[in-house]
Structure 1
């Protein structure tokens, strides 16, 4: 908290202050309307801001932090432009009349979260933003085998320094139960023998960075499995790819073999080695961490943006019967170039839902 602002520091505005005139070099205002989320230079036209949808707030904030991060890195465009995304139709311009979508009247009550690292914790955090009137009726199955290590604290939204050494299932479960949710814990790896049973959630969200486990989850028999992946280098960490199954592509097409990547940044390798010494696999140590100017940085805002997009896909399918997109490709640096492929496969089994929502403020 400060009594005066440094004119050289970038400014983000939420709402309309008494003095709404732009006064700083980088002066941005967050805006939203329904499922559309945006960021505009202060003083430029905003969206209507009438129809509420919590995930658009998460998406707008993620884009805002991303934009300031890019500005700090020296991107001359960052902070001087309007940008946004529609979570309803990600490939439609965010200011288009259809981008706002429709009122969200149903929320899921049964979901399986596979992997509780950077993305998995962002899913849980995002679910906590939804207006459940009675969170206790929501049953979340949480699956992971790893414990929190130091590197997770900077990228995991539900992890704190005091959680180091504790199983992620216990950490995430404790935080979600504090929010009123009911949890079920699975503390073994998701493998080719793991399948949902009658009492299990039939919809699952994947936050895995293990290619084999992602393939197993995609072919495990869920009526809807949504998988997200993010880039893990200084050139790709803004990149997000969301895929859902069943769909028109096979699991082998969705997860083709790739050649091993060679990392050359010493600071990055040092951080990865530190994570491995602490008990992580190399893939886990790389999750959510990027090398920037020789320093290792946790890019949590990428996880929140990804979670907003994934949860919006689930909510749109639940509310409209339109299947989650087969593929959505998104980049925080250039969300205007988001691409998606519609999914022709319809959902047969509903995962459980509620229309018992908190009234809007």
Structure 2
């Protein structure tokens, strides 16, 4: 990797970590939630790098203690894919969001995946698939409902969540992203938090007439400057059909979606484009686009990073209502 690119990766991670650190002082786990941490979903999963283990192949499970005590198989499941610009972040950053979601009656499976530059977009989607295959094999070991599985993701994780739904529901999408055999989990729906969905290259989007339908080429250019063009290598078959909100919605019959953003979110336009495409198709979805006042701020992925806010608690309640209605 060129030295300047390596410096960009380090600086991006450092600056983002500095932004996250003060927020972590306000995080707290609600009572009544059990945590099972650092489960390897691939054989190399672990925290010992000297032994060749990969922290990117670990997941956590959060369970309402009431569900653990009662047993049975009735608790709906959320699979959470963290954000971080595809290059930063780990499952622990979403722990507070996960535990608050679990306190509302969900089992939550929070997974790591390899960040760039360890792998590219196809590799990250392959990691998600490996975690989903592990989950499908082990669901019966937990007090959860295998017929009420949802997926959520924030920012870059929102993109990975939407692409995962495309892969699981469309054979051509799976092939385009190099997934020979999707996990086969039947997702009942999903929650996408401030996601980035403008991932198509400007050239192909313009060629295929996608550039005027809620597509912002600056997102792809910004990501290429940070991640390098190689992050999007091998995606000719997916570009642009499965790399724009309009393209995915047109090509795939998606399950019900709860889309969350705010007027203070720099990716608001991507969420609105996805909602517009779903509305045109007549799909089942709900949009939460919270408007901030002149002297208010929520910023990006506020329910994930700032769970203590009233606005975040209301968002979590709305996610729960939406999901329970579709179990």
- TM-score between the two structures when normalised by the length of structure 2: 0.32
- TM-score between the two structures when normalised by the length of structure 1: 0.29
- Which of the two has higher C-alpha Rg? 1
Structure of higher RCO (CA pairs closer than 8 Å, 6+ residues apart): 1
